[in-house]
Copies of this chain bind each other. A is one copy, B any other.
């Protein structure tokens, strides 16, 4: 059950080089030196794919953004920024984002400890050849004070339709914020929650050890998991027929419509995902729903079609694609 609620785990470390101005206060040459030193160090320790953002087409950058491999800020800095990505896409090291280094590891399910171990090993190797700005009292120094200390943010992506549909979201957010945990939409700060997806992460990177922060986020995620399970039970007890009807209609529209937008498709797929999780619909391959949720954005649809489509053409292609994938999947 946990794996259907906790979608993925991510740990990131913020690091900066000693005696170099922060990215928001630098000039082109200095920033370029940071990028060069970073890529040299990164190419020593693993077989990362190294990309300078200025060499990438905007479609490619948008796709990386959707896949959580880079941030919007890295794209904003694309004349001086770059990224190193592991062949399996689990590790990405952004260079010249808000900090010189944003090192992250993202794994499926609830896997924060392992993600921390992986990114920590890479960070240790990098620190052998790079001199990170570090203060004995404060810890790692960062561009924004909220990241000072461990420079660590541990986050889990959670699928919380039960909590949303029982109107318990605000209560949950206010409860966990007292524990130093914040809740955001799927694409971080300022993004809205599409398809009942939420990011749960630590608010502070100072005053606790890395292990304690990881432990706090993990235990909070498990508590939210329990709340979600209870909320789903409540939905089934109080509204089973209406909810089952909504889920089955969502499937019916998805598998038959002629055109559909990303946001409507995401909403309907999320309802079907919920329905599959709580046995309101039987699907031969429920995994297809998760795959579809990841593959229906404008960027992905353009890629799938091998064309640059306009919005209307994409809505037609998306409907045809979803219909083809779902065909005869309901048992």
Contact = CB atoms under 8 A, between A and B. Distances in A.
Interface stretch (A53-61, A70-78, A255-263, A288-296): A255-263
A248 interface: yes
Interface in A261-289: none
Contacts of A118: none
A52 interface: no
Q: List the 10 shortest-distance A-B pairs measured between CB atoms, nearest first.
A: A252-B256, A252-B252, A245-B258, A244-B258, A248-B256, A248-B258, A252-B253, A245-B259, A249-B257, A249-B253
Indicate the member of A253, A256, A330 with the most B CB atoms within 10 Å.
A256
Given A241-B312, A252-B256, 13 more contacts: A241-B259, A241-B316, A242-B259, A245-B257, A245-B259, A247-B258, A249-B257, A251-B252, A251-B256, A252-B255, A252-B257, A253-B253, A256-B330
Contacts of A241: 258-259, 312, 316
Contacts of A255: 252, 256
A210 to B, nearest CB: 48
Contacts of A258: 241, 244-245, 247-249
13 contacts: A241-B258, A241-B312, A241-B316, A245-B319, A248-B256, A248-B258, A249-B258, A251-B252, A251-B256, A252-B253, A252-B257, A253-B253, A256-B330
A256 B257 CA distance: 13
Nearest to A255: B252
Contacts of A319: 245
A248 B255 CA distance: 9
A65 B296 CA distance: 50
